[in-house]
Amino acid sequence: MSLREIDVFDFDKTLYRGDSTIDYWLFNIRRRPWLLVLLPWQAAGYVPYFLGVWSLTRAKEQFLSYFRFIDVDRAVEDFWEKNRHKLNDWFCPEFMERESVVATASPEFLVAPACEGRGVSRVFGTRADRKTGKIEGENCKGAEKLKRIREVYPDFEIVRAFSDNLKADYPMLSAAREPYIVKDGKYSRIEL
Protein backbone atom coordinates (compact mmCIF):
# COMPACT_ATOMS: atom_id res chain seq x y z
CA MET A 1 0.00 0.00 0.00
CA SER A 2 1.43 3.39 -0.95
CA LEU A 3 1.23 6.39 1.31
CA ARG A 4 -0.75 9.46 0.30
CA GLU A 5 1.75 12.25 -0.31
CA ILE A 6 0.72 15.68 0.96
CA ASP A 7 2.20 19.08 1.60
CA VAL A 8 1.21 20.73 4.89
CA PHE A 9 1.12 24.46 5.55
CA ASP A 10 0.73 26.32 8.80
CA PHE A 11 -1.44 29.40 8.23
CA ASP A 12 -0.66 32.26 10.62
CA LYS A 13 2.65 34.00 9.89
CA THR A 14 3.25 31.36 7.22
CA LEU A 15 0.64 31.71 4.48
CA TYR A 16 -0.93 34.75 6.11
CA ARG A 17 1.20 37.71 7.16
CA GLY A 18 -0.06 38.01 10.72
CA ASP A 19 -2.17 36.07 13.20
CA SER A 20 -5.64 35.71 11.69
CA THR A 21 -7.36 35.04 15.04
CA ILE A 22 -5.98 38.26 16.55
CA ASP A 23 -6.51 40.24 13.35
CA TYR A 24 -10.11 38.99 13.19
CA TRP A 25 -10.67 40.02 16.82
CA LEU A 26 -9.19 43.49 16.14
CA PHE A 27 -11.33 43.77 13.01
CA ASN A 28 -14.42 43.09 15.11
CA ILE A 29 -13.28 45.53 17.84
CA ARG A 30 -12.92 48.30 15.25
CA ARG A 31 -16.46 47.63 14.02
CA ARG A 32 -17.92 47.18 17.52
CA PRO A 33 -15.73 49.02 20.05
CA TRP A 34 -18.11 48.08 22.87
CA LEU A 35 -16.66 44.53 22.63
CA LEU A 36 -13.67 45.89 24.57
CA VAL A 37 -15.75 45.53 27.75
CA LEU A 38 -15.14 41.78 27.35
CA LEU A 39 -11.36 42.14 27.25
CA PRO A 40 -10.77 41.67 31.01
CA TRP A 41 -12.83 38.44 30.88
CA GLN A 42 -11.00 37.26 27.75
CA ALA A 43 -7.56 38.05 29.16
CA ALA A 44 -8.40 36.50 32.55
CA GLY A 45 -8.61 33.08 30.87
CA TYR A 46 -4.90 33.17 30.13
CA VAL A 47 -3.92 33.60 33.80
CA PRO A 48 -4.85 30.00 34.77
CA TYR A 49 -3.24 28.83 31.52
CA PHE A 50 0.10 30.49 32.36
CA LEU A 51 -0.18 29.10 35.91
CA GLY A 52 -0.60 25.61 34.46
CA VAL A 53 -4.16 25.17 35.76
CA TRP A 54 -5.98 25.41 32.42
CA SER A 55 -5.13 24.07 29.00
CA LEU A 56 -4.49 26.44 26.11
CA THR A 57 -7.73 25.11 24.63
CA ARG A 58 -9.73 26.29 27.66
CA ALA A 59 -8.05 29.72 27.69
CA LYS A 60 -8.65 30.15 23.97
CA GLU A 61 -12.28 29.15 24.40
CA GLN A 62 -12.75 31.96 26.91
CA PHE A 63 -11.07 34.40 24.50
CA LEU A 64 -13.39 33.31 21.65
CA SER A 65 -16.51 33.68 23.79
CA TYR A 66 -17.05 37.10 22.15
CA PHE A 67 -18.49 35.19 19.16
CA ARG A 68 -21.82 35.26 21.07
CA PHE A 69 -22.11 38.96 20.35
CA ILE A 70 -21.38 39.15 16.62
CA ASP A 71 -22.62 37.72 13.33
CA VAL A 72 -19.54 35.55 12.83
CA ASP A 73 -20.26 34.41 9.28
CA ARG A 74 -20.85 37.94 8.02
CA ALA A 75 -17.79 39.21 9.89
CA VAL A 76 -15.59 36.45 8.38
CA GLU A 77 -16.73 37.40 4.88
CA ASP A 78 -16.05 41.11 5.53
CA PHE A 79 -12.71 40.30 7.20
CA TRP A 80 -11.41 38.45 4.14
CA GLU A 81 -12.62 41.17 1.78
CA LYS A 82 -10.36 43.53 3.70
CA ASN A 83 -7.45 41.21 4.55
CA ARG A 84 -6.99 38.87 1.60
CA HIS A 85 -4.02 41.02 0.52
CA LYS A 86 -2.13 39.69 3.58
CA LEU A 87 -1.84 36.23 2.00
CA ASN A 88 1.65 35.53 0.69
CA ASP A 89 1.95 35.70 -3.09
CA TRP A 90 3.45 32.20 -3.34
CA PHE A 91 0.28 30.76 -1.74
CA CYS A 92 -1.41 29.92 -5.04
CA PRO A 93 -2.56 26.85 -7.00
CA GLU A 94 0.54 26.95 -9.20
CA PHE A 95 2.69 26.33 -6.12
CA MET A 96 0.77 23.21 -5.12
CA GLU A 97 2.55 20.22 -6.66
CA ARG A 98 0.53 17.60 -4.77
CA GLU A 99 -2.44 17.48 -2.45
CA SER A 100 -2.03 20.32 0.01
CA VAL A 101 -3.58 20.86 3.41
CA VAL A 102 -3.50 23.70 5.91
CA ALA A 103 -3.09 22.91 9.61
CA THR A 104 -3.61 25.84 11.94
CA ALA A 105 -4.45 26.76 15.52
CA SER A 106 -6.85 29.42 14.22
CA PRO A 107 -10.55 28.57 13.93
CA GLU A 108 -11.14 26.33 10.95
CA PHE A 109 -14.14 28.36 9.75
CA LEU A 110 -12.04 31.55 9.79
CA VAL A 111 -9.18 30.18 7.69
CA ALA A 112 -11.15 28.06 5.20
CA PRO A 113 -12.49 31.00 3.10
CA ALA A 114 -8.94 32.30 2.57
CA CYS A 115 -7.88 28.91 1.20
CA GLU A 116 -10.69 28.57 -1.35
CA GLY A 117 -9.44 28.62 -4.93
CA ARG A 118 -5.80 28.22 -3.85
CA GLY A 119 -5.35 24.49 -4.39
CA VAL A 120 -5.91 23.51 -0.75
CA SER A 121 -7.74 20.19 -0.33
CA ARG A 122 -8.52 20.52 3.35
CA VAL A 123 -8.18 22.91 6.27
CA PHE A 124 -7.49 21.46 9.71
CA GLY A 125 -7.98 24.13 12.34
CA THR A 126 -9.30 24.58 15.82
CA ARG A 127 -12.95 23.51 15.76
CA ALA A 128 -14.60 26.48 17.44
CA ASP A 129 -18.36 26.93 17.55
CA ARG A 130 -19.36 30.02 15.56
CA LYS A 131 -22.02 31.01 18.07
CA THR A 132 -20.27 30.42 21.39
CA GLY A 133 -16.52 30.05 20.78
CA LYS A 134 -16.65 26.66 22.52
CA ILE A 135 -13.92 24.38 21.17
CA GLU A 136 -14.62 20.81 20.15
CA GLY A 137 -11.60 18.65 20.93
CA GLU A 138 -8.22 20.34 21.38
CA ASN A 139 -6.64 23.50 20.04
CA CYS A 140 -5.07 22.46 16.71
CA LYS A 141 -1.43 23.10 17.63
CA GLY A 142 1.76 21.04 17.72
CA ALA A 143 1.17 17.28 17.69
CA GLU A 144 -2.58 17.89 17.46
CA LYS A 145 -2.08 18.98 13.83
CA LEU A 146 -0.70 15.55 12.88
CA LYS A 147 -3.45 13.81 14.86
CA ARG A 148 -6.14 15.78 13.02
CA ILE A 149 -4.55 15.06 9.62
CA ARG A 150 -4.33 11.35 10.48
CA GLU A 151 -8.10 11.29 11.22
CA VAL A 152 -8.77 12.09 7.55
CA TYR A 153 -5.64 10.66 5.92
CA PRO A 154 -4.71 7.50 7.90
CA ASP A 155 -1.82 6.63 5.58
CA PHE A 156 -0.01 9.82 4.65
CA GLU A 157 3.49 11.09 4.14
CA ILE A 158 4.32 14.76 4.39
CA VAL A 159 6.59 15.74 1.54
CA ARG A 160 6.87 19.45 2.31
CA ALA A 161 5.86 21.24 5.52
CA PHE A 162 5.90 25.01 5.98
CA SER A 163 5.76 26.95 9.24
CA ASP A 164 7.03 30.14 10.80
CA ASN A 165 7.64 28.47 14.17
CA LEU A 166 10.07 25.58 14.56
CA LYS A 167 9.22 25.04 18.23
CA ALA A 168 5.41 25.03 17.92
CA ASP A 169 5.35 23.05 14.67
CA TYR A 170 8.29 20.73 15.30
CA PRO A 171 6.09 17.59 15.11
CA MET A 172 4.82 18.59 11.67
CA LEU A 173 8.17 19.83 10.37
CA SER A 174 10.09 16.80 11.63
CA ALA A 175 7.60 14.47 9.93
CA ALA A 176 8.27 16.08 6.53
CA ARG A 177 10.84 15.04 3.97
CA GLU A 178 11.40 18.72 3.21
CA PRO A 179 10.74 21.10 6.13
CA TYR A 180 10.61 24.84 5.44
CA ILE A 181 10.64 27.86 7.74
CA VAL A 182 8.85 31.02 6.66
CA LYS A 183 10.13 34.43 7.71
CA ASP A 184 9.00 37.78 6.34
CA GLY A 185 6.83 36.08 3.75
CA LYS A 186 9.69 34.05 2.27
CA TYR A 187 10.41 30.37 2.85
CA SER A 188 13.67 28.48 3.08
CA ARG A 189 14.42 24.83 3.54
CA ILE A 190 15.90 23.72 6.86
CA GLU A 191 17.61 20.59 8.15
CA LEU A 192 16.32 18.95 11.30
In the chain, where the domains are located: 4-17+84-189, 22-81
Confidence at 170, pLDDT banded by 50, 70, 90: very high
How far is Cα 103 from Cα 161, in angstroms, rounded to an integer? Answer: 10
Write the pLDDT tens digit of every residue in 15-44: 999 999 999 999 999 999 999 999 999 999
Average the pLDDT over 151-174 and give the result: 95
CATH topology of domain 4-17+84-189: Rossmann fold (3.40.50)
Q: Residue 95: its pLDDT value, please?
A: 80
pLDDT at residue 25, as a whole number = 98
The reported pLDDT for the residue numbered 96 is 80
Question: Would you state the pLDDT for residue 94?
Answer: 79
Given this model, what pLDDT does residue 92 score? 85
**What pLDDT was estimated at residue 22?**
98
As a whole number, mean pLDDT of residues 103-125 equals: 96
Task: Please give the average per-residue pLDDT across 153-158, as a whole number.
Answer: 93
CA atoms of 76 and 49, how far apart (whole Å): 27
Q: Where residue 1 falls among pLDDT bands split at 50, 70, 90?
A: low
99 beta partners:
6
pLDDT in tens, 38-92: 999 999 999 999 999 999 999 999 999 999 999 999 999 999 999 999 999 999 8
Task: List b or e across 120-141, with b for residues whose CB sees 16 or more CB atoms inside 10 angstroms.
Answer: bebbbbbbbbbeebebeebbbb
Prediction pTM value = 0.94
Q: For residue 39, report the phi and psi dihedrals to the nearest 5 degrees.
A: -55, -45
Percent of the chain residues topping a pLDDT of 90: 91
